[in-house]
Amino acid sequence: MILKDKKILITGILTDKSIAYASAKIALENGATVVATGFGKGLRITERAAKRLSDDIKIFEMDIENLDQVNRAVQDVEEEVGNLDGILHAIAFSPTEAMGGNF
């Protein structure tokens, strides 16, 4: 249990195919407490994906482009979880046209 008693925040948990999902799974298997973020329509998707991993994952709303939400999430995480031991930023965006062709 290499991550026993460690608290890790992971962004980008949306599908079981994502790096964030796999990372959260491995972190949980190694004893970590996992905290996740999501926002907008993606928040519900994050909640469902995280639920498949563990009922114990706390999810906070945070749009990384909204400084007020970021500050609120930092405060909420600090109040509810305490200090974090690590963060994995796994948010990705790609325009639809980038996903076609030989990509």
Q: Tally Cβ neighbours within 10 Å of residue 98.
A: 9
CB-based burial of residue 84 (10 Å sphere; 0-12 exposed, 13-18 middle, 19+ buried)? Answer: middle
Task: Read off the pLDDT of residues 31-74 as tens digits, 9 standing for 90 and up.
Answer: 999 999 999 988 999 999 999 999 999 999 999 999 999 999 99
Q: What is the pLDDT of residue 100?
A: 58
Q: Do the bridges between strand 33-38 and strand 7-11 make them parallel or antiparallel, or are there none, so unpaired?
A: parallel
The domains found in the chain, sorted by start residue, are: 7-93 (3.40.50.720)
